[in-house]
Structure 1
Amino acid sequence: MNYQERPAPGIFARLYFLFFILPLTLLLVITPLGFMMDIFTTISSGWVPASSVGVPSSMVQAVLMTLLPTFFFARLRSLYWYFPWLLPVVIIGSLNLLIFAAGAGLLFKGFEVINASRQIIFIVLAIVQIIVSRLAMCAYFHFRPLKPLS
């Protein structure tokens, strides 16, 4: 389907894209970097940053609740036809967010108790979880590549 045949999104879909989806795509790129910084801060200092205690789960919930209407309503789903790059960015960004949020949450649970051996175990678990999840995601998308809607 070429550009001229794509259905144009309505005014509500355009506003939803402008005020929700576009900032969300920027957030999907920046947030895993923030989780990485929190993980490195926690490992280097030995303390969980107070501002990061509930952030991983609330960030994932906010992202998924914002994306949910775009998959259920046809008018909003037309955004994925109109912007072909949007679906792969949303899927890979959401998976990255889930992977790093799970790793950060796991690490934060390990640092709830001041015990050096427990903290080392949870550091290793968080690193292994992030690496294995990223490798699984890469393997999955190697065999089933993401394509824009056509």
Structure 2
Amino acid sequence: MGMMQEFKAFASKGNVVDLAVGVIIGAAFGKIVDSLVGDIVMPIVGRIFGGLDFSNYYLPLNGQAATMTLVEAKKAGAVLAYGNFITISLNFLILAFIIFQMVRLFNKMKKDEPVAEAPPAVTPEDVLLLREIRDALRK
């Protein structure tokens, strides 16, 4: 079998296509969650804590004053951007919670599906014969 035929067989398998679709949808979903965190959740959290903008919280590591914005401080030297870390961590927690809820919903839907009972296993003929011999010997 040629390499192109092998590749076609590999790419047309259901698992590969499902994985590709999952990655594309996951990337798009990640952007939605980034927007949710950055545009909705963090402004509310910042408002609760006195109008704080977590994305500009940093500690300068080169002795400069911490009065600049994060972008300006990064241009001036090394910074420890812990506010950005807080934002990304919150983003992860929200994404993980949403995915957990989705998996939980799918598992619940699977449980609700009726499971077809397997027919009783047919006893092999040699086992039946051995049982008859056993019963005859008991008598």
Question: TM above 0.5, one fold?
Answer: no
- TM-score, length of structure 1 as denominator length: 0.26
- TM-score, length of structure 2 as denominator length: 0.27
Higher relative CO (Cα under 8 Å, sequence separation at least 6) belongs to: 1
